[in-house]
Amino acid sequence: MAGIASTGLDVILAGVIPTPAVAFLARRFECCGGIMISASHNPPSRITELKFLEGDGYKLNDEEEGKIESLVAADDYPRPIGGAVGRSSTSKMQSPFIWRI
């Protein structure tokens, strides 16, 4: 959360929620996007990955994900200071999703 907030974006931690909830909540709260940590529990891989969603709840295409990877690898992204730094918070955002289903 702090890393993303340090680029000037506000971040809301939704907690442990199912994958479709991230897409729903990104749309519902008109977020610019969503990020989830996803893990495979099936051997042998047990891969953990980040999944990036657009504000409409759809997964970013491979090209857009590649741009993010390049920015992070190059350590080349905005670093605002003072009041321009984003805020991070926790929320019970999952409530609208639960009521929806």
Decide if pLDDT at 36 tops 90.
no
CB 16 within 8 A of CB 94: no
Domain limits at 27? 2-100
Number of domains in the chain: 1
Q: Output the pTM of the full model.
A: 0.69
Of 40, 70, 89, 95, the active-site residue reads 40
Q: Could you report the per-residue pLDDT of 54-79, keeping only the tens digit for each?
A: 999 999 999 998 998 888 888 877 78
- Whether residue 91 lies in the annotated active site: no
Q: Specify the CATH number for the domain of residue 16.
A: 3.40.120.10
pLDDT value at residue 88: 78
pLDDT value at residue 37: 84
CA distance 13 to 29: 13
Q: What is the DSSP string of 8-71?
A: T--EEE--S--HHHHHHHHHHTT-SEEEEEEE--STTT--EEEEEEETTSPBPPHHHHHHHHHH
